[in-house]
């Protein structure tokens, strides 16, 4: 991604020193070459397609700088991991303090950090969600939730949603709803039935005697940012209660203030039986995931505390980052801020859609989890690349590549929203111009 001005910015506001120009060029060339030879040649190709003749260098709050000192507004967030902004001072301080004392657990003694995080999560999550298992990533949190549901119910089946994204480990992938990622690894874990998201009747129909749980994202992220119809979550909760199956809410992307409430389920005052969280929980500083369950479900874990475990899960460094993150989310009222800033950003996107009706099919979302759906994935890819050239980072959604996601830090300001929206606007204009001329040339040849 190269912003329009290709000059190294002498007045770069990058908060850390840049390398001298020759060293920068060398770093960029070496990094691309190492991707090509040691990471993944396909990824190297993708970066080149996106115009990435640079590497990431520094970040602060809503801004990112590349090695040349060029500045970007981060509207992708990793995706969705920098809810409190990049390098929030409170999170950094908590991590530094723990780093200087004891970053990892010996595990033969209780960890004060883990215990405090579990208590805070019980208070921060809805209803009587209470017991927490801390792990290291989103997929791991989903794996744990699925295992707990099987253990508690003695049943093996799950109802999941089409186009859902729950991660790419085998169990999480079995819940994920896009064949593109599933088919190469078949057979997956048996017992998963996928139904259309937003259709409560389909959930009811799919539940059978072997169903342990229904798993859903309250607002789907990678499916292209899909907000379900009003009342859907409550209806599914009712169905689960009536049919005696558990409800797992995967809040890994929609949680922690992203959609304008603490959690996606809060929009309908629904309390799931198990809730998964990850991504933004570590404040964008340390990876961490967790699943939290109602007390009545924790019996089997209580009887066999090592039936499910993880060497690094619950390490003090990550727990301190998470505690600080929860404090920032509450202290700075970031869910409320996401709701207000989201309305402003969505307004800009609606305006864009009105001006490009032949290119943009839909704009939607809630809080600061927004999506722009293009008429073809080529537009989404090109707009993301062109927005990068104009200093705005966006990313398409994994299960719906026609959609780019707009998910900036919840700390974003009105000025930065206007700047990002202007960059996206110019990117859409450029993609429209280029793809129209490609189509015209193809038509001429035909």
Ligand X SMILES: Cc1ncc(COP(=O)(O)O)c(C=O)c1O
Binding site for ligand X (CB under 6 A): 137-139, 142, 165-167, 217, 221-222, 250, 252-253, 278
Minimal distance in Å, beta carbon 237 to ligand X? Answer: 18
By Cβ distance, which residue is nearest to ligand X? 138
Least distance (Å) from ligand X to the CB of residue 138? 2
Separation between Cα atoms, residue 400 and residue 74, nearest integer Å = 21
Beta-carbon contacts of 286 under 8 Å, excluding residues fewer than 6 positions away, are 95, 317, 318, 321, 322
> Catalytic annotation on 250?
yes
Nearest distance, CB of residue 298 and ligand X, angstroms: 22
Least distance (Å) between residue 297 CB and ligand X: 20
Between 225 and 385, whose beta carbon lies closer to ligand X? 225
In whole angstroms, give the CA distance from residue 421 to residue 444. 34
Nearer to ligand X among residue 117 and residue 290 (C-beta)? 290
The C-alpha atoms of residue 211 and residue 248 are separated, in whole angstroms, by: 12
Which is nearer to ligand X, 245 or 252 (by Cβ)? 252
Determine which one of 66, 279, 395, 425 is catalytic: 279
CA-to-CA distance for 138 and 252, rounded, in angstroms? 6
Q: Which of 250, 273, 425, 432 is catalytic?
A: 250
- In SS3 terms, 48-103 reads as HHCCCCCCEEEEEECEEEECCCCEEEECCHHHHCCCCCECCHHHHHHHHHHHHHCC
C-beta of 165 vs 197, nearer to ligand X: 165
Please name the residues in contact with 221: beta carbons below 8 A apart, sequence gap of 6 or more.
79, 80, 165, 253, 254, 369, 397, 405
Nearer to ligand X, 79 or 335 (CB): 79
In the complex, least distance from residue 251 CB atom to ligand X, rounded to whole angstroms: 8
Minimum Å gap between C-beta 175 and ligand X is 9
**Each residue of 110-126: b (16+ CB within 10 Å) or e?**
ebebbeebbebbeebbb
Q: How far is the CB of 82 from ligand X (least distance, A)?
A: 14
Cβ nearer to ligand X, comparing 79 with 85: 79
The dihedral sign for the CA sequence 74, 75, 78, 82 = positive
Query: Angle at the Cα of 221 (from 174 to 240), degrees rounded to 5?
Result: 60
Report the 10 Å Cβ neighbour count for 388: 24
Angle at 324 between CA 319 and CA 325, to 5 degrees: 95
Can you tell me which residue has the tokens 């202290």? 331
Least gap, CB of 40 to ligand X (angstroms): 17
| Per-residue buried b or exposed e for 249-276, using 16+ beta carbons within 10 Å of the residue's own CB | bbbbbbbbbbbbbbbbbbbbebbbbbbb
Report the residue number, 28 or 290, with the smaller CB distance to ligand X.
Answer: 290
Nearer to ligand X, 31 or 253 (CB): 253
Catalytic residue among 133, 158, 165, 192: 165
Least distance (Å) between residue 314 CB and ligand X: 16
Choice between 247 and 359, CB closer to ligand X: 247
Active site residues: 165, 250, 279
């Amino acid at each position: 991604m190269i912003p329009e001005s290709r000059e190294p910015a002498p007045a770069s506001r990058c908060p850390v020193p840049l390398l001298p120009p020759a060293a920068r060029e060398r770093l960029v060339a070496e990094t691309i070459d190492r991707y090509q030879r040691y990471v993944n040649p396909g990824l190297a190709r993708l970066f080149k397609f996106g115009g990435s003749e640079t590497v990431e260098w520094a970040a602060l709050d809503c801004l990112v700088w590349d090695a040349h000192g060029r500045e970007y507004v981060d509207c992708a967030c990793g995706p969705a991991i920098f809810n409190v902004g990049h390098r929030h001072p409170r999170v950094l301080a908590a991590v530094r303090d723990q780093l200087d004392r004891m970053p990892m657990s010996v595990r033969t003694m209780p960890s004060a950090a883990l215990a405090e995080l579990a208590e805070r999560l019980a208070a921060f999550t809805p209803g009587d969600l209470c017991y927490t298992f801390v792990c290291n990533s989103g997929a791991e949190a989903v794996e744990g939730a699925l295992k707990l549901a099987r253990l508690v119910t003695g049943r093996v089946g799950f109802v999941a949603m089409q186009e859902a994204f729950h991660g790419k480990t085998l169990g999480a992938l079995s819940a994920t709803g896009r064949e593109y990622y599933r088919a190469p690894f078949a057979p997956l874990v048996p017992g998963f039935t996928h139904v259309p998201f937003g259709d409560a009747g389909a959930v009811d129909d799919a539940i059978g005697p072997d169903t342990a749980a229904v798993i859903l994202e309250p607002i789907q992220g990678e499916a292209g940012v899909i907000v379900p119809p009003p009342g859907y979550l409550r209806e599914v909760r009712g169905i689960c209660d009536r049919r005696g199956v558990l409800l797992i809410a995967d809040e890994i992307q929609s949680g922690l203030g992203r959609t304008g409430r603490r959690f996606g389920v809060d929009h309908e005052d629904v309390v799931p039986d198990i809730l998964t969280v990850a991504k933004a929980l570590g404040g964008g500083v340390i990876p961490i995931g967790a699943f939290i369950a109602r007390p009545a479900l924790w019996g089997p874990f209580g009887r066999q505390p090592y039936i499910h475990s993880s060497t690094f899960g619950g390490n003090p460094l990550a727990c301190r980052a998470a505690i600080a993150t929860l404090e920032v989310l509450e202290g700075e009222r970031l869910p409320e801020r996401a709701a207000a800033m989201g309305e402003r950003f969505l307004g800009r996107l609606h305006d864009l859609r009105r001006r490009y009706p032949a290119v943009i099919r839909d704009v939607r979302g809630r809080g600061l989890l927004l999506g722009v759906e293009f008429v073809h994935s080529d537009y989404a890819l090109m707009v993301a690349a062109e927005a990068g050239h104009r200093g705005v980072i966006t990313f398409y959604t994994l299960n719906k590549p026609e959609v780019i996601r707009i998910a900036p830090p919840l700390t974003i300001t009105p000025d930065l929203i206007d700047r990002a929206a202007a960059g996206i606007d110019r990117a859409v204009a450029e993609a429209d111009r280029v793809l129209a001329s490609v189509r015209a040339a193809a038509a001429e040849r035909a």
